[in-house]
Chains A and B, each alone.
Chain A
């Protein structure tokens, strides 16, 4: 009765709630690049003086002839990547998300998305969990500013294993991608066997009373929240919405229709992020009560990652509270 109804097809980690492995999702980017580099000689990687931080050094050491150091010049880096794609290369650029998607936004818009070029951008060190570097280095707007760009695909892997799959998929698919990674170690929820396809949300846990839609590190928090809710007799569905764009309308609408209430959780500004994207779908196809967990219109600050996640309301506890709130609204509608 008190057990989560995990989706067996998802082949999630067997150590989900006991001694789960911890890895930063950026490791997945590094592994994915090397895997791609071995398969496809056209894959090239660019660095902007943060090559090791984003794990691109693994590729650079392995394939030095296909690595370009650009220096602290993100706008130029994105433009060079656009040019490389024009001669058949598959360029991956990475730096902190605040710079790769913010500082170089107009370059992403005009030189990459408008012509729909095959450029892959890693938004590394996404979210508040970057920690001590503080507000300037905590990307909390990257999903909002990139998902509004036509032709752009936006993917937020839940962990390092999914990060590798997302990187490899982006390299194998045409068109511009933003891939978001985190700096901190987070629970490795998925396994090599967990299904992953860009554009398809996965139901990690079955439930009928409420749906929790999450991305990135909040997927694990959503599972922890679902477990606690289950103990309190509330049956919640957990959906890993790793692809923010193109968004999986079908899975979201089914979840809203079948559970009648939705909570969204993301390590991002509430405005314009994953939750907003979900609401855009539900408002048109299945308007149900929705509560949004995320950063509420403010900048981050310095601190330990876990302290910040706590302070900015990005925990399983906040998700539990949001579920209870949304269930009251759902009940009120009946």
Chain B
């Protein structure tokens, strides 16, 4: 991808961040920290890597994207709206009664959500099932799964990791949003995950470590996954900053699941390049 393409993805990521702040601010609840940390990854997924048709979300030729850390759905909703799955005005209905934009994603309400999610640790197993099913039918579609690093505390993630390598699911790419913070504090204090890359390698995965806010690196890693001809699943361990882009939210566990007030929304949007 050329530098203009990268620049465009960067702009989209900032736009997603602005939408995240507006949505969660309007809802009065939600999870800004992990949504903001994942914005560059999601920008690259929806506007570079994934093959899909927003007018026909069930198109059989599409790639599959699973948001295992369902609580950061604002970033996915923002990307989906921008990609044309639904009107952007609808973003401000997040978490409201009757909204298709549930507090955690619901596939039965919002077309384009591949599976309902919210209980942590389950998305990778579902992704393994999809990848295995595609493989059984000899289909070329790719499967992507975004996980939080705190989520890796769940044992089921490692059951799924083991099985993905066992079945040689090279059509599966996991992305770990390694922002280093979870609700109770730094991941290393809550439950040590390191040596994380070695763990995935030991489970039979091909590991790509990268800066999760460097879109050039993200795009390269996703391209590398797509063209990989071996038989291992791929995991991108993306070092990120929780709350990225909003100075007062950055690296603060407190902003995991707290909505900004009106004044904080204004300050955040100003920092994200939106004066009003």
- State the A residues within 8 Å of B (CB): 44, 65-66, 68, 70-71, 73, 75-76, 78-89, 91, 106-107, 109-111, 114-117
Contact A83 B128 (CB under 8 A): yes
Contact B129 A80 (CB under 8 A): yes
Contact A79 B133 (CB under 8 A): no
Within 8 A of A (CB), among B18-53: none
Known contacts A71-B163, A107-B125, A110-B122; decide if A80 and B115 are in contact (CB<8 Å): no
- A85: chain B residues at CB < 8 Å are 129
Contact B116 A76 (CB under 8 A): no
Option from A44, A70, A73, A114 in Cβ contact (under 8 Å) with B116? A114
- State the B residues within 8 Å of A (CB): 64, 106-108, 114-119, 122, 124-134, 136-137, 155-156, 159-160, 162-163, 167
CA–CA, A44 to B133, complex, Å? 9
- Can you show 9 pairs from A to B with CB atoms below 8 A apart? A71-B163, A73-B156, A78-B125, A80-B125, A83-B133, A106-B122, A107-B122, A110-B119, A114-B116
CA–CA, A107 to B160, complex, Å? 13
Min CB gap B115→A, angstroms: 6
- A81: chain B residues at CB < 8 Å are 129
Min CB gap B147→A, angstroms: 13
Min CB gap A291→B, angstroms: 39
CA–CA, A79 to B124, complex, Å? 8
- A111: chain B residues at CB < 8 Å are 115-117, 119, 122, 125-126
- A83: chain B residues at CB < 8 Å are 115, 125-133
Contact B119 A82 (CB under 8 A): no
The main secondary structure of chain A at its interface with chain B is helix
Known contacts A73-B163, A75-B156, A76-B163; decide if A86 and B126 are in contact (CB<8 Å): yes
CA–CA, A106 to B122, complex, Å? 9
Contact B108 A88 (CB under 8 A): no
In the complex, residue of chain B having the shortest beta-carbon distance to the beta carbon of A106 = B119
- A80: chain B residues at CB < 8 Å are 125-126, 128-129, 132, 160, 163
In the complex, residue of chain A having the shortest beta-carbon distance to the beta carbon of B134 = A87
Contact A87 B159 (CB under 8 A): no
- A110: chain B residues at CB < 8 Å are 116-119, 122
Min CB gap A92→B, angstroms: 13
- B136: chain A residues at CB < 8 Å are 44, 65-66, 89
Option from B108, B118, B119, B160 in Cβ contact (under 8 Å) with A76? B160
- A75: chain B residues at CB < 8 Å are 122, 125, 155-156, 159
Contact B122 A89 (CB under 8 A): no
Known contacts A111-B115, A115-B115; decide if A86 and B156 are in contact (CB<8 Å): no
CA–CA, A109 to B137, complex, Å? 28
Contact A82 B115 (CB under 8 A): yes
Contact B129 A84 (CB under 8 A): yes
- B137: chain A residues at CB < 8 Å are 87
Option from A73, A79, A87 in Cβ contact (under 8 Å) with B122? A79
